[in-house]
Amino acid sequence: MLARLILSGAIFFAASLPIFSEQTFTVVIYNVENLHDADGVAVYDDYQPTLYRPAHVATKARNIAHTLQRFRGGAGPDLVLLQEIEIDQTPASTVEDPARWLEQWRGSSIDQMLAKHPLPEALAGVPAELWLLKALQDVGLTGYHLAVGSDAPSPSTAESRRAIKCVTLSKFPITAVRNHPLVSARMILETEIEIGGQSLFVLNTHWKSGASNPEMEGIRIQNAEVMRARVDEILAEDPWADIIIGGDLNSHYNQKARYPAMPRTGIDDILRVGYSERKLVAGEHDLYNLWFELEPNQRGSDTFRGHWGTLMHIIVSRGLYDQSGVQYQDNSFNVARLPGRNSDTVGAPIRWSSGGPTGAGFSDHLPLYAHFRTVSGGGPDEWMSLDQPSDRPPSGTVWPVDYAAVDLNQAIRLDAIPPQTQLRDGSWTGKLFRVSGPAIGTDRPKVRFNDEVYEIYAPQSATRDRLEAQAVKHRTLEFYGELGTYKGNWQFVVRDVSWVP
């Protein structure tokens, strides 16, 4: 899987795209893993002020900006659909005029603005999406129109409080914004966008979590019903309407095949997303999932318990294949995997960690992207030619992340690090260590470095069993692990059983 996807960076840039007489543009879908603001008022435990401070906001926003900067030769994507932006829990402090606010602070970097803790009152209440726009401005990405999901913070007494929303950035004019409420999920953020005189409907969404949970699937079915109803409304007015659905559906492209015990799924049975481009053009279905543009073993933008997942999606309507309005650029879909930046040695996402004074990492999801263009001169019943069209139905195959292929010889020996080293300053987060030393306990054993205790997390039961057996038999541990944090606790993550000699 990794071999081709590492090469995906080569097609980020406009220079690699064919030249068309009409306008070309790039769409990116990115779940940024809880970009929160800096006011210290948060629903999630990981984003309380003791763990998540202004300097963390600067690091996280800056890392997102640097990722987006890699598109179109440094010009950035034209449309960005973001998920997991914090709902401002102090909405009275929201900036009323984002463009004016950005211009006011043009002479200061986000790092300078967020250097003090606590922040001055003028900056304490700035919402998360504004900090991201500021980070984008710092790397030269400007001119975005902003659409924000209208989700409001729920009362503090609510059993389950709303914490995150969807946000859409567009370099094209946004002519309409609509929000569609979902049960136990973020509102669908719909934007109608004008591109070269053509209309494009963009539905930014984030369904209920728990992809493998049948009970949660019932909620996602409701989420899909709302989405399908809106798609039907648009197509009733114009059967060839250009629609992009993007976001985190918390469903895999092969959801029904992957979980055969689920009699119905939102993405398959309700939203009715197809797998065949030929059938799309023939009118046998009206939505197509761009994951089918890639070979099955290349489909993955997130990981869970050592396997690849496809929770993020770009789904397009039939109208994006005709010769009128906006058109999908065939076979341009891919995963934005940047080795050494947002992805690790096996291409898996380097997730965000609040460890240390400034934090480190990116997100537990890699961005998806695709290229589009406007076309003219054709009719809505004329279709673009297809190069190697996808026509294979999905199977239930689950592809493992090949952590066994990691070169363990590149690991840092923990016992060779000078004793005065501050392992928790954030600069070591995500690095691979070879750890050996006395075990602390035998049931879920821990290790110690510089009088600080580190937990050990192993996703595989066989790995946990081997670690516990070491602790019982030898009272010592020897393993390879990535340094990180979880809920404020520092830990080594042992990804594969082969990481325990």
CATH of the domain at 413: 2.40.50
CA separation for the pair 492, 218 (Å, rounded): 35
Q: Are residues 358 and 444 in the same domain?
A: no
| DSSP secondary structure letter of residue 61 | H
Q: Are residues 306 and 420 in the same domain?
A: no
Query: Taking 60 as the threshold, does the pLDDT of residue 8 lie above it?
Result: no
CA separation for the pair 338, 311 (Å, rounded): 19
| pTM exceeds 0.85, yes or no | yes
Q: Are residues 138 and 195 in the same domain?
A: yes
Amino acid letter, residue 302: D
Three-state secondary structure call for residue 140: coil
Give the gyration radius of the chain's Cα atoms: 23
- Asked whether residue 393 is assigned to any structural domain, the reply reads no
CA separation for the pair 262, 430 (Å, rounded): 36
C-alpha distances (whole Å) from 296 to each of 6, 300, 313, 330, 486 are: 16, 9, 15, 17, 31
CA separation for the pair 10, 191 (Å, rounded): 30
Q: In what order do the strands lie in the sheet with 174-182?
A: 174-182, 185-195, 198-206, 243-248, 312-317, 287-289
Compute the average pLDDT of residues 282-302.
Answer: 97
pLDDT averaged over every residue in the chain: 93
The model's confidence at residue 114, banded by pLDDT at 50, 70 and 90, is very high
State the CATH number of the domain containing residue 245. 3.60.10.10
Query: Taking 80 as the threshold, does the pLDDT of residue 7 lie above it?
Result: no
Whether residue 314 contacts residue 294, with contact meaning beta carbons closer than 8 Å, is answered with: no
Q: Are residues 35 and 128 in the same domain?
A: yes
How many independent structural domains does the chain possess?
2
Query: Taking 90 as the threshold, does the pLDDT of residue 377 lie above it?
Result: no
Q: Which residue has the higher pLDDT, 343 or 22?
A: 343
Q: What distance, in Å, lies between the first and last C-alpha atoms of the chain?
A: 26
- Predicted confidence (pLDDT) per residue in 183-242, tens digit: 999 999 999 999 999 999 999 999 999 999 999 999 999 999 999 999 999 999 999 999
Q: Are residues 347 and 426 in the same domain?
A: no
CA separation for the pair 371, 331 (Å, rounded): 9
Q: Which of 357, 375, 393 is the last residue before a domain boundary?
A: 375
- Asked whether residue 125 is assigned to any structural domain, the reply reads yes
- Predicted confidence (pLDDT) per residue in 333-354, tens digit: 999 999 989 999 899 999 999 9
Q: Are residues 285 and 191 in the same domain?
A: yes
The model's confidence at residue 327, banded by pLDDT at 50, 70 and 90, is very high
The kind and range of the H/E element at 416 are none
Strands 447-449 and 287-289: unpaired
C-alpha distances (whole Å) from 119 to each of 38, 43, 54, 122, 427 are: 8, 20, 7, 8, 24
Q: Are residues 50 and 144 in the same domain?
A: yes
Burial grade of 10 (CB within 10 A; 0-12, 13-18, 19 or more): exposed
Strands (E), 249-328: 287-289, 302-304, 307-309, 312-317, 325-328
Q: Are residues 353 and 455 in the same domain?
A: no
Q: Are residues 353 and 439 in the same domain?
A: no
Burial grade of 180 (CB within 10 A; 0-12, 13-18, 19 or more): middle
Angle at 19 between CA 16 and CA 25, to 5 degrees: 75
Whether residue 287 contacts residue 245, with contact meaning beta carbons closer than 8 Å, is answered with: yes
Note down the domain range covering 336.
Answer: 2-8+24-375
What's the confidence (pLDDT) of residue 157? 78
- Asked whether residue 392 is assigned to any structural domain, the reply reads no
- Asked whether residue 339 is assigned to any structural domain, the reply reads yes
- Asked whether residue 488 is assigned to any structural domain, the reply reads yes
Q: Are residues 59 and 184 in the same domain?
A: yes
Which residues are CB-neighbours of 343 under 8 A, at least 6 positions away? 337, 349, 350, 366
Q: Are residues 175 and 82 in the same domain?
A: yes
- Predicted confidence (pLDDT) per residue in 226-255, tens digit: 999 999 999 999 999 999 999 999 999 999
Q: Which of 498, 480, 501 is nearest to 413 (CA)?
A: 480
Phi, psi of 374 (to 5 degrees): -90, 145
Residue the block writes with tokens 């673009």: 384
